[in-house]
Structure 1
Amino acid sequence: MPVKQAVHFLRTARSIRYYKQELVPRETLAQLLNIGRYPQTGENAQGISYLVVNGREKLHEINELYCRIAQDLPESFPGYKEVKHTVWLQQHYGYDALFYDCSQLILAISDKDLRSWQKNAYFSLTFIALLAPSMGLGTCWLGLLEFLACHPDYMELFAQLVDLPKGKRICGCMLVGYPAVHFRRLVERNPLEIEWR
């Protein structure tokens, strides 16, 4: 692939926050998730698999748990302001500020003893996010959910809710679905900064 085409492809990546309610078929998701096996991983450990949560009802239950935990979250918690703000938006404006009314959630999971669990999950989910538009799909990282679902104090609550296999942990969270919007322009970024020595 020529460099210009490769650069254009990489620049088209967008976070999607508006989704159609139609579920992506399992066969299509399996094809998408398969690309997550191929990026480089720490110590070549790989070790990432996936749990897909389907349906607005299930995602609503996860959102309810998120909001319940947020009620007693200590102010010293990393991401306290972001989590509280997400809950506040939902309580005051009545819209889904966590899942954006998306109907499917990808959870990257690994064995609890995998040392490079988060890095490997991020490598994997990045490949998935890059491939998704080529398949007519959109994705969105869910760092807001990761604050709680990947945290040692709260991960077991989410694990029980989604029936996570024993010995596994949640490493990363990403929405997936058919986009309800299409972007015509590429996103501008801050100018490149480099220091040479």
Structure 2
Amino acid sequence: NSQLVEWTVFTDKEKIHNLAGLTVDWMKYVKENDPEAARLPYIPLIIAAWEMGMDVVLRNAPALVIASAPAVAISGMVDVSLSLSYLELAAQKMNIGTCWAGLLHGALLSWKPLQDAVGLPKGHIHQYAMMVGYGKPKYYRQPERKTPKIQWK
């Protein structure tokens, strides 16, 4: 009920491309300096794609929306996630596609150059980003999912 979520929106394609590049820079750093993370199979693939001119980080999205909340928000990450979920539902009603930007989120947790470029409001530590635009693919059925594990009591 405290409504502490704030929004940072990028619509400049050059700035969005720069954020994707900073995310790739973080991946390069992680690959060289964190043996555990370096074993993640997608990191070298994303770096290679970027170096070939393909943006698989933010997918050349025309807009990037970042929801954030301050450290004092006890349920800040939940608030951010719910806010973006509502954005996702509203966008769908307007035939606008969305995609959660998990790679940018990971980099934004610790990569200072990206943090500086994004410029979240002071004290905001809870954040997640979502790409917004008109999707190219058309889906005719939902992707297959594992059967949920439910404990009935």
Q: What is the TM-score with the length of structure 1 in the denominator?
A: 0.65
What are the superposed Cα offsets for residues 68-109 of structure 1, whole Å, 9 maximum, x if unpaired? 222222325668724444223322x43111011111101111
**Which of residues 129, 133, 138 in structure 2 aligns to 1:173?**
129
Structure 2: distance between partners of 1:179 and 1:133: 11
Matches for 1:114-153 after TM superposition, within 5 Å: 114-149=73-108, 151=109, 153=110
Structure 1: distance between partners of 2:2 and 2:144: 35
Which of structures 1 and 2 has the larger relative contact order (alpha carbons within 8 angstroms, sep 6+)?
1
**Which of residues 1, 24, 28 in structure 2 aligns to 1:67?**
24
Structure 2: distance between partners of 1:95 and 1:188: 27
Q: CA RMSD in A?
A: 2.4
The structure with the largest alpha-carbon Rg is 1
Please state how far the C-alpha of 1:146 moved relative to its aligned partner.
0.8
Q: Give percent identity, aligned residues only.
A: 25
Unaligned 5+ segments in structure 2 are none
- Partner SS for 1:95: coil
- Is the contact between residue 62 and residue 133 of structure 2 (CA under 8 Å) also seen in structure 1? yes
Match of 1:53 in 2: 10
- Is the contact between residue 159 and residue 169 of structure 1 (CA under 8 Å) also seen in structure 2? no
Q: In structure 2, give the amino acid aligned to 1:178.
A: Y
What are the superposed Cα offsets for residues 122-164 of structure 1, whole Å, 9 maximum, x if unpaired? 1111111122111110000111111111x1x32x432321333
**Which of residues 68, 72, 92 in structure 2 aligns to 1:109?**
68
Number of matched pairs: 150
Please state how far the C-alpha of 1:66 moved relative to its aligned partner.
1.5
Structure 2: distance between partners of 1:190 and 1:143: 21
Structure 1: distance between partners of 2:101 and 2:39: 15
Q: Please identify, of 112-121 and 185-194, the stretch whose mean Cα deviation from structure 2 is larger.
A: 185-194
Match of 1:99 in 2: 58
Q: In structure 1, give the amino acid aligned to 2:27.
A: A
What are the superposed Cα offsets for residues 33-81 of structure 1, whole Å, 9 maximum, x if unpaired? xxxxxxxxxxx44311110011220111112212222222232566872
Rate the CA distance shift 1:169–1:138 in 2: closer, same or farther, 3 A.
Answer: same
Q: In structure 2, give the amino acid aligned to 1:108.
A: A
- Partner SS for 2:151: coil
